[in-house]
A and B are shown apart, each in its own frame.
With several copies, the nearest count.
Chain A
Amino acid sequence: MFGFEPNEEQKMLVDSVQRYALNDLRAAAHDADEAGELPPALVKKGWELGVLQASIPEAYGGFGDRSAVTGVLAAEELGYGDLTAGLAVMAPAAYAIPILVAGTEEQKKSLLPPVVEGDWKPYVSAFVEPNLDFSAADMRTTAVRKNGSYVLNGVKTLVPHAANAAGLLVYAALDGKTQAFVVPPKSAGLKIGDREAWCGLNALPTHKLTLEGVTVPADARLGGDAGHDPQPLIAATQVAAAALAIGLAKAAYEYSLAYAKDRTVFGVPIAQKQSLAFMLAEMATDIEAIRLLVWEAAWLLDEGKDAAHAAQMAILGASDTAMMVTDRAVQLLGGHGYIREHPVERWMRNGRGVPNFPGMAMV
């Protein structure tokens, strides 16, 4: 049975996240971008919507079961509000969901409750690496077994809140296979670089993380000695980033559509020009089509089916869509699109980074 409509529970969640996105994230995004920081109360409020908490069973401190489909519905709304803040709110998910999915019972019991009980805390993951052909399935950071421990070496980038992380999940290649390790933030050999500066994401502090012989015990590896299949984790973070990107695209599409209807030249709304109206038609269609790719990949994850290919299609398609749509949104605003008073240039800057964001959030 095909179905293209969220269920009642999902609709309620989407409604509440959307309200937060529109009332809180949108209102704060410009100043946060200029100031280079998100108001902590803003992130706290997003956290209290309970998107992650509802994905973690009661046994581990949460109050629900994980659904990647529900996750992408929520993520789209966060991206619709502000992708930067969305990544901040969802950062702990990039730490907790892998533990939930791939951790041993003991790891789940010990590691999850501190994340989901209480306020938002910077539990984050270190995933992306600073090379242009970074591949999630073929990382340069390595893990080597040594005397019953694992020794990690390598460089990570785009690690949010690394300077004050409460917990760190680090991905590394163990015998060529990507595996995740829980690394205490104060580990010896772990160097936190200066805050990074990007084209976008200005309000989110990220850092380079250098691992020089960082040693963690055997039980720091997700799944213990047996380890875990990295593919479902890679897929889950790809669809999370894809959903955020679709939300961002939708925001830019809606804003530029409203602008084009409102803005008149020679007394006629510019939306009445075929060239601009057709742009909008293509933007709307792309968003609609690629959103369904994202949903399908999430659904495959929930069904326990192989989602690797679908998730890659989703992130590639959503990245392209975010980049195309935000560029056109700027274009639709003309000179006004270039001015930071309007959000479209920020959305374009944030959107350009989407291909790099998998690893920073998870559903």
Chain B
Amino acid sequence: MISFEIPDKVRNAVTLMTMVGENMMRPVARYFDDHEHEVPWDYINMMHDANKQMGGGGFVPSTDKPKKAEGEAPKKEGPRVAYQRLAYSAEALSWGDAALYLCSPVGLLGAAAVAATGTPEQKQRFLARFAGDKPVLDGMALTEPHAGSAMPADVRTTAVRDGDSGVLNGEKIFVTGAHKALIDTQGFLVIWATIDASAGRAGVRPFVVEAGTPGCTVTKLEHKLGIRASDTGSVVLQDCRIPFDNILGSPEVEKKTTEGFKGAMATFDASRPMVAASAMGIARATLETLKELLAQNGVTLRTGIPRSRMTNIEREVADMEIQLRSTWLLILKSVWMMDEKKPNNLEASMGKMRAGDVVVRITQKAVELLGPLGYSREHLIEKWFRDAKVNDLYEGTGQINRLIIARRILGYGRRELA
């Protein structure tokens, strides 16, 4: 069926997250931009409490999430909308503030990886902590110093089996939230490492490394253009010993085959729409604020007129609306496919690529259209422009996503299209 009716469950989440965004995030967004690396504990604690009150499962969908109180009747299962709700929540919180959103102790990219590819036992073990006493953050560590962008196939960090342990060695850079996951809270990172360097991409797997594990240190925090409330760290793994069954997925993933690699890669089909949704939140905040500032400054936006009668500003705003809505629908489709358990690899990459383009374009145009108001730190527009750009860079640049899409539609592998 074709329908664009937002499910009630999702609508309620949006209402809640919008309240959080408006009241808890917008008022402090500028402060944490000005105070890079200061931890927004108020926001983190508030979100942790809210999450616990909502059942504590975190945001990440998992059919195996901690059970409700014993004896409670299982809820009648309606249509699955967990990923749809997740995307809407990421969007609404990023509408509040994308940098603070990345500090949410509710399960982000690391948790998404666990949820997408972990065994029931792993999901229980790693996701339960989001419902614990203290807030916990997570993250995903993929990029390494030698590689340009997130390239799973080019991982040099090694994981060597030693009995029941795995021993990790290597260095990760550009790890979003590394410090908060490993130092500020008792969280975890999903770290990509190769179980067989000679096997190329076929040997690459995700491992969970928990806070406090000896041999795992955060060595550097980056000073960034934007999303400054979120730390971006370097992580060095030196003989870092973890239980080997922290390798995410069923036992088969230990086989050094391309199939095992592909299974592990499914994590990106879940994480890309989250990143894309976050980008959309920034874009929507920018478009709404642009309209407000225009109205405050006496610029009227007429509707229902053809392009040939529009002003330049009207035309730019109309284009933004088209880009925003069409991209959001594309992302929605990709998470609907997740919920429906349909393969969504192509749609997830399309949504991520387009979201990166669109959020950059909308925020840059907004700065420009607003002249001195757009360029000034008196308003958040310039901050959103700085925050936005990361979405075209992290979790796969626009170019990487184009590559993925192109290979898919052409039926090509790395050999044909590099």
Contact = CB atoms under 8 A, between A and B. Distances in A.
A1 B3 contact: yes
Contact of A278 (B147, B154, B293, B406): B406
B306 A133 contact: yes
A277 to B, nearest CB: 4
B385 A199 contact: yes
B223 interface: yes
A264 B378 CA distance: 41
A313 B321 contact: yes
Interface stretch (A42-50, A92-100, A108-116, A330-338): A330-338
A197 interface: yes
Given A316-B322, A330-B389, A339-B224, A2 B417 contact: no
B332 A352 contact: no
B372 A130 contact: yes
A284 to B, nearest CB: 5
A1 B79 contact: yes
B2 A6 contact: yes
A136 B305 CA distance: 8
Interface in A114-151: 128-138
A340 interface: yes
Contacts of B332: 2, 4
B418 to A, nearest CB: 8
A356 B6 contact: no
A300 B6 CA distance: 13
A250 to B, nearest CB: 12
A334 B397 contact: yes
Contact of B374 (A132, A265, A299, A349): A132
A288 interface: yes
B371 A285 contact: no
Contact of A281 (B304, B353, B375): B353
Contact of A293 (B322, B360, B374, B376): B322
Contacts, number: 258
B161 interface: no
A265 B368 CA distance: 35
B372 A132 contact: yes
Interface string A302-322: 000000111011001100100
Given A335-B143, A338-B393, A339-B223, A2 B371 contact: no
Interface string B368-397: 111111111110001001100110111001
Interface centre among A284, A295, A355 (most CB of B within 10 A): A355
B220 to A, nearest CB: 10
Given A265-B147, A272-B416, A292-B329, A131 B224 contact: no
Interface in A137-180: 137-138, 157-158
Interface string B114-152: 000000000000000000000000000001001111010
A128 B372 contact: yes
Interface in A7-63: 7, 10
Contacts of B398: 331
Contact of A3 (B2, B327, B377): B2
B contacts with A: majority SS: helix
B227 to A, nearest CB: 9
Nearest to B405: A281
A88 interface: no
B84 interface: yes
Given A275-B399, A331-B398, A340-B225, A1 B7 contact: yes
Given A257-B409, A289-B354, A309-B303, A4 B333 contact: yes
B308 interface: yes
A136 B1 CA distance: 31
A356 B372 contact: yes
B4 A296 contact: yes
What is the interface residue range for chain A against chain B?
35 or more
What is the interface residue range for chain B against chain A?
35 or more
A160 B128 CA distance: 55
B248 interface: no
Interface string A244-285: 000000000000010011011110011111111110111011
B1 A5 contact: yes
Interface string B58-85: 0000000000000000000001010010
A284 B382 contact: no
A199 B377 contact: yes
Contact of B304 (A131, A158, A292, A308): A308
A233 interface: no
Contacts of B282: none
B375 A299 contact: no
Nearest to A352: B367
A227 interface: no
B174 interface: yes
B57 interface: no
A137 B329 contact: no
Contacts of A320: 322
A348 interface: yes
A266 B148 CA distance: 10
Nearest to A353: B375
Given A2-B4, A5-B1, A135-B309, A334 B149 contact: yes
B222 A339 contact: yes
Contact of B3 (A273, A290, A299): A299
A2 B336 contact: yes
Interface centre among A133, A270, A293 (most CB of B within 10 A): A133
A5 B337 CA distance: 10
Given A131-B372, A296-B4, A285 B410 contact: no
A196 interface: yes
Given A2-B84, A132-B371, A133-B371, 6 more contacts: A266-B151, A277-B406, A296-B325, A335-B148, A338-B390, A338-B394
30 contacts: A2-B4, A6-B1, A128-B372, A131-B373, A132-B299, A133-B308, A133-B309, A265-B149, A266-B154, A272-B412, A273-B418, A275-B399, A280-B406, A281-B405, A288-B330, A289-B330, A296-B4, A296-B325, A299-B3, A300-B4, A313-B326, A316-B318, A335-B174, A338-B390, A341-B222, A348-B225, A349-B386, A352-B375, A352-B385, A356-B371
Interface of B: 1-7, 79, 81, 84, 143, 146-149, 151, 154, 173-174, 222-226, 293-294, 297, 299, 303-309, 318-319, 321-322, 325-327, 329-330, 332-333, 336-337, 347, 350, 353-354, 360, 364, 367-378, 382, 385-386, 389-390, 392-394, 397-399, 402-403, 405-406, 409-410, 412, 416-418
Listed from nearest, the 9 A-B pairs whose CB atoms lie closest are A292-B329, A199-B382, A277-B406, A197-B377, A281-B405, A289-B326, A133-B308, A3-B1, A345-B225
